Amino acid sequence: MESTQPPVEEKKAAVKTAFQDAGALEENGLVRAAVLEQVLQELGICLTDAEKLKVLELGGLQEGLLDLGMWVDKIFAKKGVKTSGYLTDASESKAPDGAAADFKSQLPRLPSPARRRPRGNAVSAQASPRQPSSASCPGHIEPCPIVTCPWYDGLAFFLQVRDVEQLVCSCTGLRSELSIKSKVNGEQKLLVPVAELNSETAERTLNRISVPHVRIFRFWQRRAFDLIADIVAHDGPQQLLSLERLAFKGCPLFFDDFQRVLLPACSRVGGLRHLNLEKNQVTDDVIEQFVNSGAFAAACPESMNLRFNRITAKGAAALASCDAGFSRMRWINMKMNQIGDEGALAFADLLKRNSSMTMLNLRRQTPPLTDKAAIGLAEALQQNSTLEQLRVRRNRIGNAGAAALAVMLQERLSQPCSLIPGERLRFELDLEENRIATDGALSLLRALQTASPSQGPKPQMVEVLLHGNSTDREAFSQAAAEAGGLDAGDSRVFFTSKAEALM
């Protein structure tokens, strides 16, 4: 059979995106070893310390980081994991006994870091409070037959519906592995992990697939959203039990949409990993309904994208007040909204209580953020030790805000070293295209160079981005020379713009 496998570079890009969405990817394609170890652990792969080190060294492990592209190349090059086609028969692999054999048998699963929930029956007697048991949900989902097909699991997130259709047409055996009989009408439904729906293809796609087994839904137009809402209304919220990631784009959302789809999706799944509501004209009323309905607390996502909407300070305050919704949140993207200083301060108060967030994106707000917001965020970060990336580009922060952030930065760099050996202290402060003049830039430089860790120097990967402000590299260098004792060539200060794709 002719191979339909995507090229290695396409796989690497997909894996990189998955790690980037999880907030784990460093610059230049590097990923933290601790994150990869967590992936191995959550996949149920038991390795000795020596075997774990060998696995990590596949990516050129150095200073707690490894090259994700190199690692994926070597993983797929391993014996028993063929790259010439989708159909890798794990039974042909002659791996040694023990933990190494267990690892080798699981290799195809590793390029799916975004999917970490244990496999098996989606509903069981031991289900969490957010997952209904079979007694309360008579139409519960049976164990997914995909678990009997080891090669499929590794490539699941690179397959679209059309790819699965081609596979099942090629072999009777594959048809039985990759499809399931519908309990409603007896038709064979395709088992696909990812479904992308637009107005033209949504109806046909939903008729061909088993909706309860979809783990990622992406809706590109309103028509697709309405179709899935009809399915939930007709067949019940258990249709969304396997869902892990939900994305809407170009689908204006209204008040009752949360009752129709989002509340069932969030509360019946036992939590979402990622929720994307960008470019949907989301307003404060929608956000308040999201919070007040209990959907946000039930979803408890690890990441959320709300950029390019119409959320004001009122909506930001409602969102930030829901601590349960942020209990495992790693990053939230609020770029291009209308939250202003008051909305930013609501997130600052959240950071004082939160211990899971690693990235907050408040770029390009209307009205623009000022020193008031910067001072509030700086004070919050003196209490918060987990945030690694604060992005406030394209606002109106000036010298006073920069000075407050400098005090925070100096305190953070001077704290006792509590890092795991080999890990780096990471902090990215994106202040590009604000109104910071030379004095403000010098206060940030002085904070970087006068910080003194109480337990020896920490490995650092700190970046202060100052492109597009009221000073430039030449004026900054001259002022640093006049101040004396400051190195204007500090590699942690950037006056060249850093593309968002690299962050």
Give the CATH number, domain containing residue 367.
Answer: 3.80.10.10
In the predicted model, is pLDDT for residue 227 greater than 70?
Answer: yes
Residue 213 has pLDDT above 90, yes or no: no
- How far apart, in whole angstroms, are the C-alpha atoms of residue 178 and residue 180? 7
CATH (domain of 56): 1.10.238
pLDDT on residue 251: 82
Res 426: pLDDT? 85
Residue 127, in any domain of the structure = no
Quote the CA–CA distance of 355 and 423 in Å, as a whole number: 19
Burial class (CB in 10 A: 0-12, 13-18, 19+), 207: exposed
Q: Does the pLDDT value for residue 444 go beyond 80?
A: yes
Mean pLDDT of the chain: 76
Domain assignment present for 243: no
User: pLDDT (tens digit, 9 = 90+) per residue, 349-384?
Assistant: 999 999 999 999 999 999 999 999 999 999 999 999
Whether residue 212 lies inside any domain: the answer is no
Highest mean pLDDT (candidates 104-108, 180-184, 427-431) = 427-431
Q: What is the pLDDT of residue 269?
A: 60
Asked if residue 390 is part of any domain, the answer here is yes
In a domain, 61, yes or no: yes
**What size, in residues, is the chain?**
503
Pick the range with the lowest mean pLDDT from 173-182, 199-208, 423-432.
173-182
Instruction: Summarize the confidence of residues 398-426 as an average pLDDT.
Output: 81
Using alpha carbons, select from 244, 224, 85, 105 the residue that is nearest to residue 158.
85
In angstroms, the Cα distances linking 61 to 43, 65, 131 are 21, 6, 39
Q: How far is 299 from 323, CA to CA, in rounded Å? A: 12
Instruction: Answer with the residue of higher pLDDT: 265 or 81.
Output: 265
Distance (Å, rounded) from C-alpha 402 to C-alpha 377?
11
Out of 109, 139, 163, a domain closes at: 109
pLDDT given for residue 189 in this prediction: 84
Check residues 242 and 469 and name the one with the higher pLDDT: 469
Which whole number is the average pLDDT over 79-106? 35
- Higher-confidence residue: 431 or 257? 431
pLDDT at 98: 43
Whether the per-residue pLDDT at 394 is higher than 90: the answer is yes
Residue 495 within a domain = yes
The residue assigned the tokens 């994926």 is 72
Final residue in a domain of this structure, among 59, 80, 109: 109
Specify which of 6-10, 92-96, 344-348 reaches the highest per-range mean pLDDT: 344-348
Give this prediction's pTM: 0.69
Q: 337's torsion region: left (phi>0), alpha (psi -120 to 50) or beta?
A: beta
Express as a percent the part of the chain with pLDDT over 70.
65
Q: Which is more confident, 35 or 397?
A: 397
Dihedral pair phi/psi, residue 176, rounded to 5°: -75, -30
The stretch 430-458 carries a mean pLDDT of: 86
**pLDDT, average across residues 376-395:** 96
Strands 30-32 and 65-67, sheet pairing: antiparallel
Residues 6+ apart with CB under 8 A from 36: 56, 59, 66, 71
Torsion angles phi and psi, residue 260, rounded to 5: -80, -40
Question: What would the 3-class secondary structure string for 341-362 be?
Answer: HHHHHHHHHHHHHCCCCCEEEC
Separation of alpha carbons 144 and 121, rounded Å: 7
Residue 110 CB coordination number (10 Å): 22
Check whether 275 has a pLDDT greater than 80.
yes
Q: How confident is the model at residue 136 (pLDDT cuts 50, 70, 90)?
A: very low
Query: How much is the average pLDDT of 214-236?
Result: 86
pLDDT higher for 50 or 415?
415
Single residue among 59, 79, 109 that ends a domain in this structure:
109
Q: Best-predicted range by mean pLDDT among 13-17, 31-35, 360-364, 423-427?
A: 360-364
Averaged pLDDT, 216-231 = 87
Within a domain: 295: no
pLDDT at 58 over 80: no
SS3 state of residue 271: coil
Question: pLDDT band at 33, cuts 50/70/90?
Answer: confident
Question: Residue 412: CB partners within 8 Å, gap ≥ 6?
Answer: 381, 382, 385, 427, 451
- Structural domain including 53 reads 8-109
Q: How many domains does the chain have?
A: 2
In a domain, 233, yes or no: no
Tell me what pLDDT residue 369 has: 98
Check residue 303 and give its pLDDT: 94
